[in-house]
Amino acid sequence: MLFGNPGKARVQLSPDGSRISYLAPVNGVPNVWVGPADNLEAARPVTHDTERGIGLYGWAYTNDHIIYLQDQGGNEQWQVYSINLSSGETMNLTPFEGITAVVGAMSDKYPDEIVIGINNRNASLHDLYRVDIKTGNMTLIQENTGFLGFYMDNDYNVRFAVKMTPDGGKEIFEPAENGSWTSFMKIGMEDERATNILGFDKTGEVIYMADSRDRNTAALYSLNLKTEERKLMAEDQQSDLNWIWTYEIVGLYVPQILVHPTEMNVQAAAFNYDRIHWKVIDPAIAQDLEYLRGVADGDFHVISRTLDDNAWIVVCIVDNGPKRYYYYDRKKGQARLLFTANSELEGSPLAKMNPAVIKSRDGLDLVSYYTLPLNSDSDGDGIPDKPLPMVIIIHGGPWLRDDWGYSADHQWLANRGYAVLSVNFRGSTGFGKNFTNAGNMEWGRKMQDDLIDAVNWAVERGIADPNQVAFMGGSYSGYAALVGLTFTPETFACGVDICGMSNLTDWIESFPPYWQSVIDLMAVRVGDVRTEEGRKLLAERSPINYVDRIHRPLLIAQGANDPRARQNESDRIVQAMQKKDLPVTYVLYPDEGHGFARPENRLSFYAVAEAFLSQHLGGRFEPIGDDFQNSSITVPVGVEEIPGLEDAITEKG
């Protein structure tokens, strides 16, 4: 129920508003469904994946085509597909081997065409092609001569290009005569993360920017390209303009701004310190946002709008229930509930998430969130009646952030009797550039100190039992879990590492080709693999070199196809622990990448993890039983370390 695929998710309106699409399972696998906007009971699946499912999709402006991306087994070698809803035909728009394609732009002015970036000529660089979604015909519009990416206007004109600079910053260029480029803007390393071009107005003469230069928090600005007039549109003194993960077809990490679908003017911007709050720019939607604030008790996002702007899809986020999707009729000024993301969770006894600001030892404010088991806090003061075993689980990245809202991990662990704590440590984004840049060169040091300070805070307030704290995380926080068990081995009773990095030098040197442009940035934020001094620092921060310090149990999980933190990152630390006869269990999935997409695999992993945590922290767990059904789980090492695991693997066959 918690770790299966949601019943319905990632809802979108067709541009003309006649149809609604969403992701929902077909035989347990997420696929795209489409139905009439006024009769969702008639929705039918239009994709038919049987493996890891569809995640990234969107409407073309024809109103009769769906565009989606798909890789193989989590290898992130994305291909772009077009579905003709009238004929049911699916076409691969990028039929090349071993590429990673990205959708660069879609425009209502050219409904039959989209722009796709393809690295078939050079694995490190994406050239831009204009592709006909009906025929598959493609035309090269921009060869990439060394840029990280491009900015296009609504006419598919390449207006700017960006590349990293040797100091970890970036430089934006504009096209000049004879295919050359001239510098338009230089952005220093300290502002690189928070300063970006967001888009163009209707005339193409004004750009919108998130900008942290000459200030701490990134604000929203407009810049007139002809007059060079720069105007402040929205700001917040505590937080940056908010960015969110999205699963629409263009862009994965996008600014949370509301832009009119045809007039192209920014109408509102969201900021997020401990909760989301909107700042209205265009009075034309002030009444709409005021109404939506009262629709449900949570934080809301507008995730889809029709071209005529008469209909919106709005999702409401709460902390103790599934996402709620609404159809908002602007003419009537009314929102109607379409469905929740997971009907099985409706009415379930779920816990509340508490925001807290924790002081680090050197005075930084760490915006954090913690969840307590139901009925553990009888007076409702946010402190349990007695200290609890606690699991600290933080975000990956590390240049992302944790947010308030529903978390399956928090709910699962709280249900099993644990306090759960998530911390925005230095290096996290969203709290101003000073906070983000405080994490530079602090992997395994002050970034980790923040997490220890948060644990101590929870202990001092009677939330956590100091002898029963576990660290569980994935990607960067998988690395942090390994650091916790090697650098501060007395702090944690056990650790769970999901696709974490154990050797920072090898990790950076094994980046996929299309990541090579960020090596300069990694040199100033993590360490420089190209210098002797940098390699020494990276070695000092790599858990693989301190395995002999581990004396707490460790569970490691890995996807075999992971291109970001490759399997050898986990293999090596497991082998090192085996040589020293240290307790370790290694769970490996041959059909997964950076994280676990298949619900059968997620269920099997969490079944193992809760048995592991129960063994070392004492919380509740359900015997593994049939949780491995249809999972690809293998346990190369340590099957005997966790109760019931050996029998479950044997029964699985």
d(CA 427, CA 407) in angstroms, rounded, equals: 22
Residue type, 584: V
| Catalytic annotation, pick one of 304, 428, 475, 477 | 475
The sign of the CA dihedral 455, 479, 78, 141 is positive
How many beta carbons lie within 10 A of that of residue 224, not counting itself? Answer: 14
Place of tokens 């001239």: 182
Asked if 354 contacts 369 with a C-beta cutoff of 8 angstroms, the reply is: yes
Strand order in 196-200's β-sheet? 196-200, 206-211, 219-224, 230-234
User: Looking at 127, 594, 614, 616, which residue is catalytic?
Assistant: 594
Distance of CA 566 to the CA centre of its chain: 19
Q: Tell me how far CA of residue 300 lies from CA of 275, 282, 313, 315, in angstroms.
A: 10, 18, 10, 6
Give 241's DSSP letter: B
Question: Could you confirm whether 475 is annotated as catalytic?
Answer: yes
Distance CA 174, CA 160 (A): 5
Q: What is the C-alpha to C-alpha distance for residues 75 and 248, in angstroms, rounded to an integer?
A: 19
Q: Which of 64, 127, 562, 591 is catalytic?
A: 562
To the query of whether residue 594 is one of the catalytic residues in this protein, the response is: yes
Q: How far apart are CA 453 and CA 442, in angstroms?
A: 15
- Which tokens hold the place of 499? 């696709």
CA 354 to chain centroid, in Å, comes to: 21
Residues forming a β-bridge with 272: 276
Residue 23, beta-bridge partner list: 9, 32
Distance CA 61, CA 110 (A): 8
* Spatial separation of the C-alpha atoms in residues 288 and 537, rounded to whole Å: 52
Reduced to 3 states (helix: H, G, I; strand: E, B; else coil), residue 436 is helix
Exposed, middle or buried by CB within 10 Å (0-12, 13-18, 19+), for 375? exposed
Contacts of 508 (CB under 8 A, 6+ apart): 519, 522, 526, 527, 529, 538
Say if CB 172 and CB 184 are below 8 A apart.
Answer: yes
CA 102, CA 71: separation in Å to the nearest integer? 12
What DSSP character marks residue 543? G
Active site residues: 475, 562, 594
